[in-house]
Amino acid sequence: MSDVEVAPPINDPAENLPKYCDFFKYLLVEELVLEPDYRQIHYGKCAVIGRLCAIPDNFKLENVSIPHLPSVYKLPTGAVSLLLLNFSYENSCTGSLANGAYCIMRGEIVLCNVQKPNSPTLTTRGLHEQLLRLDDSGKERSTLLENVQKTHKPALYVWHSSRINQAEELIQRRLEIRVLCK
């Protein structure tokens, strides 16, 4: 009787790539915008609550101040903002969206090249894959990372938007639910 041969575990780097999040995880504008390491940015679907800000040429979603957050993490409303792609008043799902309105935006997080508009967008996973193709030495990788961080900004590719009134209340409860899921 021969023993069944057990294949040695394959050390596949693809296993370590970020997995696509296939539900709309509730994230904060701050988490996405202030993340210094682009490899750590959320990959996949998400829902973000914020204040809509219309500036010439494009739209942004501003953060909303969360009253009960520890003061080290607390930012005033509108301190940081996330770039919105694929959004305009015409394709917004609720007709009443206007500058300064609070809303929930659902969609996918991408890395958008802000220096060359209309160039293809990148994702966190795409970035990981590009890094894997480079030498192990680390030097090339850090140059690539630096370059991407200079040219790209995290952005939300919007699929659905809806207007809400009690943004603070909703954000707080969503955060508390995330703590429950930990």
Partner 1 sequence: MINLSPDDIEDQLDNFIIRKTKDQASTYVPRQKTTKNGEKIYDHIPLLIKDILASQPDADNKGAFTLFNPTELKYHSCLVYGFVAGRGVHNKSFYNYVLDDGTGSIKFRIYAKPREEKIIKCLYNEAQSLIGSADTLKYEKISTSMTRLLGKATEYIDGSVISPGSNVMLYGRPHNFKDQISLDVISFTMDNEKSRSLEIAFSESLIDYYQSHNR
* Token duo for residue 112: 């958008």
Q: Which of 116, 111, 151 is nearest to 128 (CA)?
A: 111
Binding mask 53-92 for partner 1 (x = CB under 8 A): ---------------xxx-xx-------------------
Q: How far apart are CA 166 and CA 102, in angstroms?
A: 8
Residues 18-57 that bind partner 1 (CB under 8 A): 22-28, 30-31, 34-37, 40-42, 47
State yes or no: residue 181 binds partner 1 (CB under 8 A). yes
Is the Cβ of residue 139 or residue 173 nearer to partner 1 in the bound state? 173
Binds partner 1 by CB under 8 A, chosen from 71, 115, 118, 165: 165
Q: How far apart are CA 51 and CA 81, in angstroms?
A: 9
Residues forming a β-bridge with 122? 111
Q: Taking a C-beta distance cutoff of 8 angstroms, is the pair 154, 175 a contact?
A: no
Residues near partner 1, by CB under 8 A: 22-28, 30-31, 34-37, 40-42, 47, 68-70, 72-73, 93, 106, 160, 162-166, 169-170, 172-182
